[in-house]
């Protein structure tokens, strides 16, 4: 009997794993993802040590945990572990070694660790420094170092991109010094991968200063990432809007970048015809990621928010297209990102792979510094158990009347029934639609239950590539664990 190939879902890592800010790279015959490491129910960003996950390039459903690759306490400036490891990047040097770049939260120091292999134990190497050995940009008025993006070019030259540009003029650090948070910079490094070569250069202006640049409405905010595709440099970044990853292109790594567009929004804004946060198809927050080519197909890696705040984010990925003229059209959120096509139209699926989640046609934004932002009747992704408990325990909680959950896509072929596993004090029905503006294809009656309970109904859905949307109509509130499609 032919073995059925395992499917790939979004989020692409196990339900207990929270690795946002994904930087994907292909080294050898595997794709590696480096990111920061959130904690389930964390109280701030990036509370855990760096870990790495990898998958064979020919099976993007088979992710392997590579373990902890770098601990926050390995840095001499953080022996007590009180600072958090923010979004990193990794580059392979001309010496064949792998260099891990990172910045601790708002310390404004860029550090480097090194390893002989992509996912081994990285060791502290040093700080990005001036030629005289002093640490880069440590005086009041210097630019702010944040979110590294690193490129070792074809000619061996090394470029570090960094910057932070929120609204406002100056951000005062705990050290008492002030830094210019005014845009994105490029810093060329020597072959030693840490010593500054020449003078850093500002590439991207912040909101309020970018008139006439072509970046208006999508000004640089954070999340610098850099890729080279043929003779073109692609700078991927998070705009001042927060929820989107944008890109800019140039034929030169240190000048001339032109705004390209939005690659993805973690609320499908713009793509859905709306710009306001409340019109998002999914709860939005910050976004950070990049692009990678795997066996001829390009993908964008990004993240979503869970647990009603921004401190438990999960990695997602979608296929993208780079057009002959170099443009990247915005892509939609899906449940089947790395699968190579729709999911099979039968079997059991966890509710956690939903790509759209809203309440009465309204979503919202999770904001930094607000902890557990409570939307009283809004649904959200959460889990049972503690951080990193290795079991399938994620679900959608808090589904009141008007909550809706969307999954895209499935290859439907002869499906005749649907079942859901739910619990709670709900009395009503789950209406099932074949698209966000589709027709109703089923209706499942649900009753109060304190344990996970299965409720079934017939399904009248046409064959082909279809989405599934569940809308709860009734009294009380329910949790949604999974659903099953049967022929």
Q: Could you give the residue numbers annotated as active site?
A: 21, 222
Distance CA 82, CA 75 (A): 11
Q: What is the pTM of this model?
A: 0.96
Distance CA 407, CA 322 (A): 25
70 touches 84 (CB < 8 A): no
| Residue boundaries of the structural domains of the chain | 23-333, 344-486
18 touches 312 (CB < 8 A): yes
Q: Could you identify the residue written with the tokens 């010094």?
A: 177
Residue 389 main-chain phi, psi, to 5 deg? -80, 125
Q: Could you identify the residue written with the tokens 């999960």?
A: 314
Among left, alpha and beta (phi > 0; psi -120 to 50; other), residue 398 is left
**Tokens in use for 5?**
């190939």
338 touches 2 (CB < 8 A): no
Q: What is the pLDDT of residue 106?
A: 87
Question: Got the DSSP string for 110-124?
Answer: EEEEEESSTTS--EE
Reference 145, options 168, 172, 111; nearest CA is 111
Distance CA 463, CA 466 (A): 8
Q: Which residues are CB-neighbours of 243 under 8 A, at least 6 positions away? A: 265, 266, 267, 269, 277, 280, 284, 285, 286, 287, 365
Distance CA 275, CA 270 (A): 6
294 touches 32 (CB < 8 A): no
Distance CA 473, CA 427 (A): 9
390 touches 367 (CB < 8 A): no
| CATH for the 23-333 domain, from 2.30.110.10, 2.115.10.20, 3.40.50.2000, 2.70.70.10 | 2.115.10.20
Question: C-alpha distances in angstroms, 316 versus 8, 133, 206, 289, 290?
Answer: 11, 39, 27, 9, 11
Distance in angstroms between the alpha carbons of the first and the last residue of the chain? 20
Reference 306, options 9, 87, 11; nearest CA is 11
Q: What is the pLDDT of residue 361?
A: 72
CATH topology (fold) of 344-486: Jelly Rolls (2.60.120)
Over its length of 487 residues, how does the chain's per-residue pLDDT go in tens digits? 344 579 999 999 999 999 999 999 999 999 999 999 999 999 999 999 999 999 999 999 999 999 999 999 999 999 999 999 999 999 999 999 999 999 999 899 999 999 999 999 999 999 999 999 999 999 988 999 999 999 999 999 999 999 999 987 656 554 567 888 999 999 999 999 999 999 999 999 999 999 999 999 999 999 999 999 999 999 999 999 999 999 999 999 999 999 999 999 999 999 999 999 989 999 999 999 999 999 999 999 999 999 989 999 999 999 999 999 999 999 999 999 999 999 999 999 999 999 999 998 777 787 654 444 455 789 999 999 889 887 778 999 999 999 999 999 999 999 999 999 999 999 999 999 999 999 999 999 999 999 999 999 999 999 999 999 999 999 999 999 999 999 9
């Amino acid at each position: 009997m032919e073995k059925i190939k395992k499917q790939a879902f979004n989020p692409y890592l196990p339900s207990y794993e929270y690795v946002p800010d994904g930087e994907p790279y292909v080294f050898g015959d595997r794709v590696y993802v480096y990111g920061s490491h959130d904690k389930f129910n964390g109280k701030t960003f990036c509370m855990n040590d760096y870990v790495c996950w990898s998958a064979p390039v020919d099976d993007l459903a088979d992710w392997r945990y590579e373990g902890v690759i770098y601990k926050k306490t390995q840095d001499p400036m953080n022996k007590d572990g009180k600072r958090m490891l923010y979004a990193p990047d990794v580059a392979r040097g001309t010496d064949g070694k792998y260099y891990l770049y990172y910045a601790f939260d708002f310390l404004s120091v860029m550090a480097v660790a090194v390893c002989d292999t992509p996912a081994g134990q990285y060791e502290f190497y040093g700080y990005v420094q001036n030629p005289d050995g002093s640490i880069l940009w440590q005086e009041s008025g210097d630019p702010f170092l944040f979110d590294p993006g690193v490129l070792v070019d074809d000619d061996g030259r090394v470029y570090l991109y960094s910057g932070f540009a929120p609204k406002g003029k100056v951000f005062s650090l705990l050290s008492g010094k002030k830094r210019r948070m005014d845009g994105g910079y490029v810093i060329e490094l020597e072959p030693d991968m840490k010593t500054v070569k020449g003078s850093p250069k500002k590439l991207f202006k912040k909101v309020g200063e970018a008139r006439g640049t072509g970046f208006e409405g999508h000004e640089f905010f954070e999340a610098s990432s850099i890729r080279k595709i043929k003779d073109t440099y692609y700078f991927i970044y998070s705009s001042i809007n927060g929820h989107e990853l944008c890109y800019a292109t140039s034929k030169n790594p240190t000048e001339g970048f032109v705004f390209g567009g939005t690659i993805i929004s973690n609320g499908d804004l713009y793509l859905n015809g709306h710009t306001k946060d409340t019109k998002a198809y999914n709860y939005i927050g910050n976004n950070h990621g990049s692009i990678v080519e795997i066996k001829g197909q390009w993908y964008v890696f990004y993240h979503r928010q869970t647990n009603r705040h921004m401190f438990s984010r999960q990695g997602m990925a979608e296929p993208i297209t780079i057009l002959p003229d170099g443009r990247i059209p915005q892509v939609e959120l899906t449940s089947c990102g790395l699968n190579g096509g729709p999911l099979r139209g039968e079997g059991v699926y966890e509710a956690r792979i939903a790509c759209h989640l809203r309440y009465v046609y309204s979503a919202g934004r999770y904001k930094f510094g607000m902890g557990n932002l409570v939307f009283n009747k809004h649904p959200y992704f959460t889990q049972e158990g503690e951080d990193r408990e290795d079991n399938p325990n994620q679900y959608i909680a808090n589904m009141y009347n008007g909550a809706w959950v969307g999954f895209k896509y499935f290859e439907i072929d002869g499906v005749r029934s649907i079942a859901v596993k739910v619990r709670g004090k709900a009395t009503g029905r789950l209406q099932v639609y074949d698209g966000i503006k589709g027709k109703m294809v089923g209706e499942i009656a649900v009753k109060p239950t304190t344990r996970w309970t299965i409720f079934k109904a017939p399904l009248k859905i046409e064959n082909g590539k279809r989405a599934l949307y569940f809308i709860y109509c009734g009294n009380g509130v329910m949790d949604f664990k999974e659903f099953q499609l049967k022929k």
